[in-house]
Structure 1
């Protein structure tokens, strides 16, 4: 009986402690930016796209070309220390349909993988938080779904809680691929709609060497089934160029 009570007490303490960890933790999906919290030590966060759909339409040599793609990206996060986490990501299985001059072409394959370390920075501020992310994208995917060369990136995220309902933030990302560079800025608004519902809106600005500036807008909602599982939905549209470009998708996240 004593042994049973001891096991029960240990189990209760473990569950309570896990719940406390989960309350302080937030998932990074959806969105282009990332949050400032890290995964709890001894736990794994699995963030899965279900999938993401992208549509674009362009005129090439006086022929209309339409592209529809599906991608099931995945991210695993686990805490190494109180404020440091390891990330393993995969662009996942992808499918692309191209329609031009009445002819359809379907291809499928696997995307690239990435490895990263995310470090939360203690600013000694109750409202402001910050995190740094170092990441390497490894060109392991199939030809049509790969970056072809490794990408080395460093990024920062700063968030400021205006009040209990609204948080403003910005993610800055700097990339290097061979000798080419790229910079991405993502200002974000995050808002709490209710105890279960929350949302975000973001503007994405990206400039890659020798390429035109790319801009887009996106918004989405998240529903917390509990403090360990989240569902999300998001939509977005490209703003730069004459080519219509739309993106949307669903996702699910778990904390184990």
Structure 2
């Protein structure tokens, strides 16, 4: 028995709200204005502050986790970003109570300023399912499939003109996992993510796409096309903490092809350093095909 939902543990990407560069620039200006340096040095510092702020903003990581709406940015040429964590889901339906654990991981390599190569997996998984009528319990553990893909950043966001940041993502899920968690053949997916910078450092995001999967032999075999659709809204809590809410449809298909996996969720991110972020998230399933609860803890590290 597999966990329900196409990606039961991996809650992709709500971008942190914008405004980091603006805050850092303001902080530098306040510090400089309070100093007792000569006027020439003070003027030089104030003139350089925007450049330093821009450099800091460029170096600040923008992880794709947590959430379904992935960031429209790429990591930058020659940079690497590791996003990993621990996922837990619980569900009770059709007379079965299940619990699962996973270690979702995404590794992003920038081979150009606007392009990155991606390796993604739900990592090591453990599943326990109990028949509520008989008490019989089945257990499974092993490795999830791995996906290879690319992201192409095609447009920068502009809050003044309401122009969203845009990126295309093309992934290929490979049937590389352990038998209990392995999918059927190679499953491609194509997604478009869009982000808007809103007033007061709020942000909004949308993601939509299609994936191609294969039914198991017991379900008649053959390929089918499913949809992906999600929306998020993010806001600043303070200079380092951000919050978000989302509505996530990571599997939209007919009942024969797995049904609709839809959830509502919220979470927070904590930027400890320009290259280190922690996050926590919780999602509530809204359909029969979705796990009742999904919890996640994550860490993102830039290199």
Would the TM-score normalized by the shorter structure come out above 0.5?
A: yes
Structure 2 distance, partners of 1:159, 1:183, is 19
Distance 1:20 1:114 in 2: 29
How far residue 80 of structure 1 moved from its aligned partner, in angstroms, is: 1.0
Q: What whole-Å deviation, never above 9, does each CA across 1:167-194 have from its counterpart, x for those lacking one? A: 1110002101242100011011111111
Q: Paired residue for 2:178, among 138, 142, 145?
A: 142
1:207 corresponds to which residue?
A: 252
Matched residue, 2:273? 226
Distance 1:91 1:218 in 2: 19
Q: Is residue 2:181 matched to residue 1:181?
A: no
Q: Is the 8 A contact 1:58 1:244 kept in 2?
A: no
TM-score where L is the length of structure 1:
0.85
**The one of 37, 48, 59 aligned to 1:22:** 59
Q: Which runs of 5+ in 2 are unaligned?
A: 1-51, 215-222
Q: Does 1:191 align with 2:235?
A: yes
- Alpha-carbon distance change, 225 to 150 in structure 1, aligned in 2, over 3 angstroms: same
> Given that residues 175 and 182 in structure 2 are in contact (C-alpha distance below 8 angstroms), is that contact kept between their aligned partners in structure 1?
yes
SS in 1 for 2:199: coil
**How many residues were matched structurally?**
236
- Could you state the TM-score of these two structures normalised by the residue count of structure 2? 0.73
Distance 1:161 1:214 in 2: 28
1:122–1:242 Cα change, 3 Å: closer
Is the 1:231–1:252 Cα contact (8 Å) retained in structure 2? yes
Among 88, 91, 104, the residue aligned to 1:56? 91
Higher strand share: 1
Consecutive unaligned residues of structure 1, counting only runs of 5 or more, are: 1-14
Classify 1:202/1:99 alpha carbon distance in 2 versus 1 (closer, same or farther; 3 Å).
Answer: same
Shift of 1:78: 1.3
Matched, 1:252 2:299: yes
Within a 5 Å distance, the mapping from 1:66-77 to structure 2 comes to: 66-77=97-108
Q: 1:192 to 1:125 in 2, by over 3 A?
A: same
Is the aligned partner of 1:163 residue 2:199?
A: yes
Q: How does 1:27-106 map to 2 (within 5 A)?
A: 27-49=63-85, 51-59=86-94, 64-100=95-131, 101-106=134-139
For 2:266 and 2:241, the matched residues in 1 are separated by: 14
Q: CA offset at residue 141 of structure 1? A: 0.5
Q: Distance in 2 between matches of 1:197 and 1:124?
A: 22
Which of the two has greater helix per residue? 2
* 1:153 equivalent in structure 2: 189
**Which deviates more from structure 2 when the two are superposed, residues 121-130 or residues 82-91?**
121-130
- 8 Å Cα contact 2:233-2:246 kept in structure 1: yes
